[in-house]
Chain A
Amino acid sequence: EVQLVESGGGLVQPGGSLRLSCAASGFTFSGHAMTWVRQAPGKGLEWVSTISGNADNTYYAESAKGRFTISRDNSKRTLYLQMNSLRAEDTALYYCAKDFRLGHDYWGQGTLVTVSS
């Protein structure tokens, strides 16, 4: 059974940093691109970032470029999102999701990030 479990969310002040993690199981982790998608309270889905299976390629939404860094440790089957210079508009539920172009067939339950003073 595929499982994706996010952690690392919380309350942070504007300008602060957080590192999100997503522990994966039930599939060949290194064989799949992994993606972060976020959803602000009461709003729609927004793609944030994707990393290829071997970590050679990374992709970012304009809103994340220069502030967020996606990475993965295939030996630990874990996906990360380092978020710096956080803003109020980054407040959202952050989901990790399996795959990229073909659609996201598995999603985690999400971890809530709140940016507020």
Chain B
Amino acid sequence: QSALTQPPSASGSPGQSVTISCTGTSSDIGTYNYVSWYQQHPGKVPKLMISEVTKRPSGVPDRFSGSKSGNTASLTVSGLQGEDEADYYCSSYAGGRVVFGGGTKLTVL
């Protein structure tokens, strides 16, 4: 059982927006603004998409955005494209450790 809870799947049509949630506790997401999101295509290395809740690393399209409210963080992908189909993982710093979510498989219909 993962420390952070994500829906196992999400989907949307090209051009639509989809939001993936990530629920933690007051010991991780609720306390620290160190939430990250990773994209992983099959057989590939995870790629950092969002850091520190809302920051996009250089090269990440602005279609990807992050937010947080209380113990829940969210990743929104706007203007869905076929290349966005992948697994997405959230993570949070939790005071001397990092916790990951179980991952969400995003399907572009």
Q: Tell me whether A100 and B93 are in contact (CB under 8 A).
A: yes
Return A23 CB to nearest CB of chain B, in Å: 16
Contacts A102-B52, A103-B51 given: A44-B100 contact, CB under 8 Å? yes
Alpha-carbon distance between A35 and B99 when the two chains are bound, in angstroms: 13
Contacts between chains A and B (CB distance < 8 A), count? 58
Q: Which residues of the other chain, B, contact A45 by a CB distance below 8 angstroms?
A: 38, 40, 46, 89, 91, 100, 103
Q: Tell me whether B99 and A47 are in contact (CB under 8 A).
A: yes
Say yes or no for B2: interface residue by CB 8 A criterion.
yes
Of A44, A61, A103, which is within 8 A of B102 by CB?
A44
Q: Which residues of the other chain, B, contact A44 by a CB distance below 8 angstroms?
A: 2, 89, 100-103
Alpha-carbon distance between A104 and B90 when the two chains are bound, in angstroms: 12
The number of residues on chain A lying at the interface, defined by a beta carbon within 8 Å of a beta carbon of chain B, is 20
Nearest chain-A residue to B87 (Cβ)?
A44
- The A interface, classified by DSSP as helix, strand, loop or mixed, is loop
Q: Tell me whether B93 and A110 are in contact (CB under 8 A).
A: no
B21-54: which residues lie under 8 A (CB-CB) from chain A? 32, 34, 36, 38, 40, 45-48, 50-52
Q: Which residues of the other chain, A, contact B91 by a CB distance below 8 angstroms?
A: 45, 47, 103
Q: Which residues of the other chain, B, contact A110 by a CB distance below 8 angstroms?
A: 45
Interface residues of B (CB under 8 A from A): 2, 32, 34, 36, 38, 40, 45-48, 50-52, 57, 89, 91, 93, 96-103
